[in-house]
Amino acid sequence: MTPTITAFERSPDGGKGLARDMRVRWALEEVGQPYDVRLLSFEAMKAPPHLALHPFGQIPTYEEGDLVLFESGAIVFHIAERHAGLLPHNVNARARAITWMFAALNTMEPPIVDRAIARLVERDEAWHEQRMTVVEGRIRKRLSELSGHLSDADWLDGEFSAGDLLMTSVLLRLKSSGLLDEYPNLSAYAARGEARPAYKRAFDAQLAVFTAASTR
Amino acid sequence: MTPTITAFERSPDGGKGLARDMRVRWALEEVGQPYDVRLLSFEAMKAPPHLALHPFGQIPTYEEGDLVLFESGAIVFHIAERHAGLLPHNVNARARAITWMFAALNTMEPPIVDRAIARLVERDEAWHEQRMTVVEGRIRKRLSELSGHLSDADWLDGEFSAGDLLMTSVLLRLKSSGLLDEYPNLSAYAARGEARPAYKRAFDAQLAVFTAASTR
């Protein structure tokens, strides 16, 4: 059964692949699972039909027969559990890969999102730069710890996994900030993720949606 | 094999059960799995032996033979996968419970942590109240959406699950703020979690650690 995911009709990131449908598209491409996409306007995301699928009125959702999921992390996990290629077979290695999924979303992403929100809503405040220094300090602390763990390895724990997929997706949010470049091994790690054919197919697919919306 | 978890020797929350070892203790109590605890000072958390277990130098960790895990969400999931009682047997219901685990940690918790950090490090700034209004607005938006989803149900999706365990743990961080009381059904939901015998056993265990440290 072909699953259907939802995505922004016109992504606020301008097609840079930073919206959370990208993580799900990438996972589906890694395992070779075709999918359909239903595009949503900002209005439709907050309307009752979509809220019935996603209580927080966001994208992506994932529909497969009777099953409806939201939260990109949970959707990526669902895909990883049902198809080979995103979680190791070894029981302990699998548990560690799942640990990295949660680390990406609950330890690494929150200060990065905090920075994005600050740039969006606090940009004109007199205290913006002062606060930004603190927020970026928090991000650097996490990047430094992650960099120390990764060392010169290709991926976080053995083969590429759903943990790397989510961690790369989170780190790429920092690409335009210059922060990632301060940690060459993390910068190379994120570039390795972007270089994967499945990433490229997913990226092109989300960019095509944005381009089509912009030329209408 | 009895797993060993790590916890604060002296929790910064003063034994209120808000440190993240509480989530793991609660899960272990729900499934009836005995466990050992290794207590760590703040210094020990940042020292090489612990960093070898937890790259971000935090608690909790989970050791079980050769397996070492960190991230409370991943540990709770590991426990839920290996023991009955925290995830439904039905495949679709199980996937939805996992969705709520991620929703608790990636959608609900970040603005709540943001508020805690703001109270800790921005308290003396002239703009503290101004920023707090915005941060609390973000929390209220999520609480309102969650409240709408929960409606008059006991738990988020059928029976109590690891999703409810994590969501309750996250909501309890707001208990002293008064924000949770604005949503009576969420307040009652959190109270239902706290009333579970397994929660109480876990709470008492972490409080005993804090009390022992305080009277030394």
A75 and A126: one domain? no
A39 and A60: one domain? yes
A46 and A134: one domain? no
| HSE value, Cβ hemisphere, 13 Å, CA-based, for A128 | 12
B55 and B149: one domain? no
- The CATH number of the domain holding residue B172 is 1.20.1050.10
Kindly state the average pLDDT of the residues A102-107: 98
A95 and A177: one domain? yes
pLDDT in tens, chain B (216 residues): 899 999 999 999 999 999 999 999 999 999 999 999 999 999 999 999 999 999 999 999 999 999 999 999 999 999 999 999 999 999 999 999 999 999 999 999 999 999 999 999 999 999 999 999 999 999 999 999 999 999 999 999 999 999 999 999 999 999 999 999 999 999 999 999 999 999 999 999 999 999 999 887
The CA-atom distances, in angstroms, between B71 and each of A128, A177, A187, B157 are 31, 27, 23, 24
B119 and B208: one domain? no
B70 and B98: one domain? no
Give yes or no for a contact between B60 and B24, defined as CB atoms under 8 angstroms apart.
yes
Chain A residues close to B186, C-beta within 8 Å: none
| Phi and psi at residue A35, to the nearest 5° | -150, 155
Instruction: State the distance between the two ends of chain A, measured CA to CA, in whole angstroms.
Output: 31
- For residue A57, give the chain B residue with the closest CA: B145
Q: Residue A95, by phi and psi: left (phi above 0), alpha (psi -120 to 50) or beta?
A: alpha
Closest C-alpha among A85, A70, A80 to residue A5? A70
A165 and A97: one domain? yes
- The CATH number of the domain holding residue B42 is 3.40.30.10
Closest C-alpha among B20, B63, B52 to residue A107? B20
Tokens of A97: 């890969």
A209 and A184: one domain? no
Report the complex ipTM.
Answer: 0.97
B78 and B103: one domain? no
Give yes or no for a contact between A171 and A190, defined as CB atoms under 8 angstroms apart.
yes
The CA-atom distances, in angstroms, between A47 and each of A15, A53, B143 are 24, 11, 18
Q: What is the pLDDT of residues A120-142, one digit of tens each?
A: 999 999 999 999 999 999 999 99
Closest-CA distance, B200 to chain A, in angstroms, reads 25
Closest-CA distance, A5 to chain B, in angstroms, reads 15
Please give the tally of structural domains in chain B: 2
A43 and A137: one domain? no
Write the residue in B55, B67, B95 that is nearest to A149 by C-beta.
B55
Closest-CA distance, A185 to chain B, in angstroms, reads 16
| HSE value, Cβ hemisphere, 13 Å, CA-based, for B72 | 30
**A212 pLDDT more than 90:** yes
B56 and B135: one domain? no
The residue segments making up the domain with residue A49 are: 4-85+198-214
Closest C-alpha among A120, A100, A108 to residue A171? A108
